Amino acid sequence: MTIDTVKHAEATPDHEQPWAELGLKEDEYQRIRDILGRRPTSSELAMYSVMWSEHCSYKSSKVHLRRFGEVQESAGIGAERRAGARPDNSQETAAGKLLAGIGENAGVVDVGHGYAVTFKVESHNHPSYVEPYQGAATGVGGIVRDILAMGARPIAVMDPLRFGPLEAADTARVLPGVVAGIGGYGNCLGLPNIGGEVVFDASYAGNPLVNALCVGVMKHEDLHLAHASGIGNLVLLYGAKTGGDGIGGVSVLASETFDEEGPMKRPSVQVGDPFMEKLLIECTLEMFADGLVVGIQDLGGAGLSCATSELASAGEGGMHVVLDDVPLRDSTLSPEEILMSESQERMMAVVTPDDIDRVLEICRKWDVDATVVGEVNDSGRLTIEWRGEQVVDVPPRTVAHEGPVYERPYARPSWQDALQAAGPQELPRPSTGDEFRTTLLLLAGSPNLASKAWVTDQYDRYVLGNTVLAQPEDSGVVRIDEASGLGVAMATDANGRYTKLDPYAGAQLALAEAYRNVAMVGAQPLAVSDCLNFGSPEDPDVMWQFAEAVRGLADACRALETPVTGGNVSFYNQTGDKAILPTPVVGVLGVIEDVSRRTPSGFRTPGQAIYLLGETRDEFGGSEWAHVVHGHLGGRPPAVDLDAEKVLADLVVQASHEGMIGAAHDLSDGGLAQALVESCLRYGAGARIRIPEGVDPFVFLFSESQARAIVAVPESEEERFADICAARGLPYQRIGVVDDGGDGAPTLDVEGIFSVPLDELREAHERTLPARFEA
Amino acid sequence: MSKGPPDVRIGVVTFPGSLDDRDAARAVRIAGGEPVALWHGDSDLYQVDAVVLPGGFSYGDYLRCGAIARFAPVMEPLIDAARGGLPVLGICNGFQILCESHLLPGALIRNDHRKFVCRDQQLRVENTTTAWTSGYQADQEIVIPLKNGEGGYVADERTLDELEGDGRVVFRYLEDNPNGSYRDIAGITNARGNVVGLMPHPEHAVDTVTGPTTDGLAVFSSCLNAAVEGVRA
Amino acid sequence: MARVVVDVMLKPEILDPQGKAVHGALGRLGFEGVAAVRQGKRFEIDLAGEATPEAIAEIERAAGTLLSNPVIEDFTIHVEGTT
């Protein structure tokens, strides 16, 4: 069979090519021909088709995502930290400064003491529906390699997960597989899982969302960007051998919605090997430590096509690769297949000729296959040869960075007004003590509010010995420097229902919640990574949701001074014409000066006063109460007040640092009632709550107004605490006291309304998931 | 920070896939000893006073947990030294390796509920004469993190009766049995009391910032005292 | 070139949670009359030469020390093409 070489392509300009089957549009195919001045070879066609797919090129989202770059500029990369927000202003460090922004593999944030932290959240949604275990497992593998390619040691992972209804048969197929896959990969790799979410909603049936986040740490000087600079430098491919896994998974899977019958017949799912990835990490970090790596890139979606074109684009602009040198698991693979293969656990590094022997020695020590497959040059072209003939000769930037940019049409959906008008005001509300009690227990045991321990107990939270807080705390906290106690906090949040009611506000509310969650433990929020999960960009309704959400998130990031450092977009999450709830997941990273001062969320010490911070209003649009009790979604989400969020966050961070509070927990889904349930059950301490005079008990207990938290304050600190709240203009109310019930069993007691023994509360809250998944 | 007898060197072996080696080394340091990194491919124990086989997924748990690690070059001198009385501690994967090497009887199989479990586990210390538990009170109840997928301890009836009869059950699970281990056995020792294997992770319970308790520290400090009196590798 | 197959099974008295899970799944899928299921491992070993008695003895040694854990597992060996 003739190899489709460059020469052959030049000689056969009218040869029919399967550009449509590979996911390209006719005008895109024509553009490739224009770029090259001839038809592409089949290898080149394969490269362009994967790299120009939605998942890799962001063609539908680029025009909107530019807003995030504008936030970075206005936030002032390199600007000093704003005074007053940090408790200890004597620090000389410029924590919060961005060292690498959007466009690199992952955003890098300076956290002080010479350390930088990198983090990113990505999606692996479609593969996880097809093959839950491996889809989720390889999602973890991919994001970890991204972090590694920044020069960082991965230190923690988190997983925001969304599934169809808890009771649906398919959820029993997907959820346990996904959780086992995340645990199976992450635990073997040795990364603590410190947080995440598990959310159930009908709109995710058939389109589960499996987002994976990874955090890594490094010293400033270790920052490695994806450069291939240095003519004559060698291109090294190391890790697993290349096989036929997931060929075209990126372009085929990520850009197709599922039809009604379910997962596609073509198995484009990769299989992961966490042991190999563990060796890859140790090997790579040793290479970094010895200063042997000039540039590095991981092989993720689009495999070699991506790594070679990205590395070549970033450096002098030229690279030559000998494809025959790629170690293969399957010797029958064609050059196109080798270029599209998504075999896992592979990395590509650029190494000087002087250092290559030492690098190969390190790879040998860790038993990791490593082969030189190419060389950097100044040709301005990426050339790839196979059996001695040129099969690829392209300008690399056109592959990696100059993909199509679409201006997808978008328009406010025709149903949006009606949806916003159909608010929850008329829904019958509980009024008697019994009705309140029943409502509390119903919500505490409802799928989204119930304990997720069944899931999170399958993850190792202790490995690496630096986990300070993990789920179900408000954010995960990891110590990064034992001597100083410096640590980082991470939280992810999203609310699909709020976002459907108002995408602009919904995205802002996701950021507000993650920001608040980070502040609750006593950490200063610094930066954002987002994973935007939406339906089909070819649907103007969805595209409008996306555009509005990005606009909202960018505006909120500017207001809160937390720039977006990078992220991911996942489109096509829909079955037929039913899209998922628009779900922009927002991850916030924060820094905490001394992890020993962190504030947990649970009540622990009887006698401490419980304060409610922030303002409560009658806001039930998109609330858990409306959803669980009435199956209702309509109206407006709770009002966004970013100034109030900042005031609240700054206060809690200060109070935490100064040891004024024993616990802090933010209010979100389920309102005050849910926050009390969680804070009581955490360590088994009860609470006696009194609803303030003239306040509507239903609103007080279940409203989802934002910018609120409960804190436990020791009696000795109450006066000082009240003073600083007043000084900052933060509304505060003493609403009760932590109470262990004396000789009786601890209870959650809302005076005059209801009293629930913690045993009963625990049973309702913790039984839900085990009852569903334990046969 | 406690200061143990000076110059007690405790080796911590790293196999490909070991995960808790660094934490074991930290625990040794906090207890007052000097951790010595030992490489699986190196058949030399460098005259350490004791050895820890840490937790993790050596060789990815391929074939059986610990089945491949057991044949690593470092294991040859280790098995000899252990037979000669050198204190050896196997934590989780390390326990699996000790059983595969026949330094301890029985085996570890998949958790009966087939899931990985990570929890703060209540234990009772039932043998305080071993090299690794002399620092505990008899029948002391402690809380130590447990995290494994293949933690079910099994052995035939005769072996189990022998272990019980000789008082060689060192740690026992309290409250719920987390993995189906026979007789709720969480950790055992050999006849001499120098080799101890346990599924829970004492190295994760050495400071209250990152662990549920500091109950694990005594495992390492016990060894410092034992090592001073005992055998060098 | 000969292929030697080593089948490894848990000893009957050892709890087999995976076999139990498979048994349960078969039942849920409507397969009736399944009394029990046990799950094991199969190793296919391709020899460079023929399956001589010496070669088989070597495999037996490997089976008893590496491929199986005699504390909890039993093994059987056969040359492919025979039973």
CA distance A646 to A490: 17
Looking only at the bridges linking them, the beta strands covering A115-123 and A107-112 are: antiparallel
Choose, out of B26, B209, B215, the residue to mutate when testing the contact with A (most A CBs < 10 Å). Answer: B209
Residue of B nearest to A190 (CA): B19
Place of tokens 């060197």: B9
Q: Give me the pLDDT at residue A232, please.
A: 93
Backbone phi and psi for residue A448, each to the nearest 5 degrees, phi listed first: -75, -25
Chain C closest-CA separation from residue B229 CA (Å): 34
Residue B4 is assigned to a structural domain of this protein? no
Q: Give me the pLDDT at residue A85, please.
A: 31
- What are A587-603's pLDDT values in tens digits? 999 999 999 999 999 99
The proportion of chain A whose per-residue pLDDT surpasses 70, expressed as a percent, equals: 92
What's the pLDDT band for B5 if we cut at 50, 70, 90? low
CA atoms A79, A83, A87, A89: torsion sign: positive
For residues B131 and B87, is the Cβ–Cβ distance under 8 A? yes
Backbone phi and psi for residue A457, each to the nearest 5 degrees, phi listed first: -75, -5
- What are A41-97's pLDDT values in tens digits? 999 999 999 899 888 889 999 999 988 887 765 554 333 333 223 333 222 234 667
For residues A538 and A500, is the Cβ–Cβ distance under 8 A? no
Q: Which residues constitute the domain of residue B122?
A: 9-229
CB contact under 8 A, B152 and C21: no
CB contact under 8 A, B115 and A180: yes
Q: Give me the pLDDT at residue A267, please.
A: 46
- What are A530-569's pLDDT values in tens digits? 999 999 999 999 999 999 999 999 999 999 999 998 889 9
For residues A521 and A592, is the Cβ–Cβ distance under 8 A? yes
CB contact under 8 A, B57 and A595: no
CB contact under 8 A, B112 and C71: no
For residues A544 and A410, is the Cβ–Cβ distance under 8 A? yes
Candidates B92, B126, B204, B223; catalytic one:
B92
Residues of B at the A interface, defined by Cβ within 8 angstroms: 16-17, 19-20, 22-23, 26, 56-57, 59-62, 113, 115-119, 145, 147, 149, 201, 203-204, 209-211
Domains of chain A listed by start with CATH number: 416-450+599-775 (3.90.650.10)
At residue B184, does pLDDT exceed 60? yes
For residues A718 and A609, is the Cβ–Cβ distance under 8 A? yes
CB contact under 8 A, B114 and C21: yes
Residue B1 is assigned to a structural domain of this protein? no
CA distance A288 to A367: 17
Say which of C13, C66, C69 has its CB closest to residue B107.
Answer: C69
Q: Which residues of chain B neighbour C12 with C-beta distances below 8 Å? A: none
Residue B168 is assigned to a structural domain of this protein? yes
- What are A67-81's pLDDT values in tens digits? 888 776 555 433 333
Say which of B64, B107, B110 has its CB closest to residue C17.
Answer: B110
What DSSP string runs through A567-601? EEEE---EETTEEPPPEEEEEEEEEES-GGG---S
Task: Name A730's Cβ contacts closer than 8 Å, sequence gap at least 6.
Answer: A613, A614, A644, A647, A648, A651
What DSSP string runs through chain B? ----STT-EEEEEE-TTB-SHHHHHHHHHHHT-EEEEEETT----TT-SEEEE--B-GGGG-SSTTTTGGGSTTHHHHHHHHHTT--EEEETHHHHHHHHTTSSSSEEE--TT-S-EEEEEEEEE----STTTTTSPTT-EEEEEEEESS-EEE--HHHHHHHHHTT-EEEEE-SS-SS--GGGEEEEE-TTSSEEEESS-GGGSS-TTTSS-STTHHHHHHHHHHHHHS---
**Among A415-424, A564-573, B220-229, the least confident range:** B220-229
Q: Give me the pLDDT at residue A577, please.
A: 87
Q: Which residues of chain B neighbour A595 with C-beta distances below 8 Å? A: 209
Chain B to chain C, count of Cβ pairs less than 8 Å apart?
A: 36
The CATH number of whichever domain residue B92 belongs to comes to 3.40.50.880
Q: Give me the pLDDT at residue A262, please.
A: 42
Token pair belonging to B48: 């350490």
Chain B closest-CA separation from residue C31 CA (Å): 22
**Mean pLDDT calculated for residue range B72-94:** 97
Task: Name A763's Cβ contacts closer than 8 Å, sequence gap at least 6.
Answer: none
User: Which SS3 state, helix, strand or coil, does residue A409 take?
Assistant: coil
Position A486, amino acid: L
User: Which SS3 state, helix, strand or coil, does residue A418 take?
Assistant: helix
Candidates B40, B203, B204, B223; catalytic one:
B203
Chain B closest-CA separation from residue A460 CA (Å): 6
Q: Which residues of chain C neighbour B79 with C-beta distances below 8 Å? A: none
Q: Which residues of chain C neighbour B109 with C-beta distances below 8 Å? A: 10, 14-15, 17, 72
Backbone phi and psi for residue A570, each to the nearest 5 degrees, phi listed first: -120, 110
At residue A264, does pLDDT exceed 60? no
CA atoms A305, A308, A309, A310: torsion sign: positive
Portion 249-278 of A in contact with B at CB < 8 A? 273-276, 278
For residues A149 and A298, is the Cβ–Cβ distance under 8 A? yes
Chain B closest-CA separation from residue C30 CA (Å): 23
Residue of B nearest to A454 (CA): B117
Q: Give me the pLDDT at residue A253, please.
A: 45
CB contact under 8 A, A465 and B57: no
Question: How many domains, in total, are found in chain B?
Answer: 1
**Mean pLDDT calculated for residue range A162-176:** 96
Which of A272, A241, A489 lies closest to A368 in space, CA to CA?
A241
For helices A671-683 and A758-773, the axis angle rounded to 10 degrees is 90
Q: Give me the pLDDT at residue A702, please.
A: 98
Backbone phi and psi for residue A579, each to the nearest 5 degrees, phi listed first: -85, 160
Place of tokens 């078969």: C26
Choose, out of C20, C71, C74, C75, the residue to mutate when testing the contact with B (most B CBs < 10 Å). Answer: C71
B201 is catalytic: yes
Position B176, amino acid: D
- What are A635-664's pLDDT values in tens digits? 999 999 999 999 999 999 999 999 999 999
Say which of B60, B204, B211 has its CB closest to residue A275.
Answer: B60
For residues A505 and A552, is the Cβ–Cβ distance under 8 A? yes
CA distance A624 to A160: 18
Dump strand ranges (E) for A631-703. 663-666, 686-689
Token pair belonging to B105: 């009887």
Say which of A180, A366, A467 has its CB closest to residue B210.
Answer: A467
Q: Which residues of chain B neighbour A274 with C-beta distances below 8 Å? A: 57, 60
Which of A673, A683, A647, A681 lies closest to A757 in space, CA to CA?
A681
For residues B149 and A185, is the Cβ–Cβ distance under 8 A? no
**Mean pLDDT calculated for residue range A105-113:** 81
**Mean pLDDT calculated for residue range A425-443:** 97
At residue A172, does pLDDT exceed 70? yes
CA distance B64 to A539: 51
User: Which SS3 state, helix, strand or coil, does residue C57 take?
Assistant: helix
What's the pLDDT band for B120 if we cut at 50, 70, 90? very high
At residue A409, does pLDDT exceed 70? yes
Which of A222, A215, A218, A226 lies closest to A154 in space, CA to CA?
A215
Domains of chain C listed by start with CATH number: 3-79 (3.30.1280.10)
At residue A356, does pLDDT exceed 60? yes
Say which of B59, B116, B204 has its CB closest to residue A187.
Answer: B116
- What are B26-71's pLDDT values in tens digits? 999 999 999 999 999 999 999 999 999 999 999 999 889 999 999 9
Which of B88, B97, B79 lies closest to B189 in space, CA to CA?
B88
- What are A451-506's pLDDT values in tens digits? 999 999 999 999 999 999 999 999 999 999 999 999 999 999 999 999 999 999 99
Q: Which residues of chain B neighbour C17 with C-beta distances below 8 Å? A: 109-114, 180
CA separation, residue A256 to residues A53, A252, A253, A568, A580 (Å): 11, 6, 6, 17, 14
Say which of B17, B23, B118 has its CB closest to residue A457.
Answer: B118
Q: Which residues of chain A neighbour B210 with C-beta distances below 8 Å? A: 462, 465-468, 479
Of these ranges, A232-241, A297-306, A308-317, the one predicted with the greatest mean pLDDT is A232-241
Q: Which residues of chain B neighbour C72 with C-beta distances below 8 Å? A: 107, 109, 154
Residue B2 is assigned to a structural domain of this protein? no
Beta bridge partners of C73: C10
DSSP classification of residue A737:
E
Mean pLDDT of all residues belonging to chain A: 91
What length does chain A have? 775
H-helix or E-strand containing A391? strand A389-394
Q: Which chains have 3+ CB pairs within 8 A of A?
A: B
Say which of B59, B209, B210 has its CB closest to residue A275.
Answer: B59
Enumerate the active-site residues of A: 55, 124
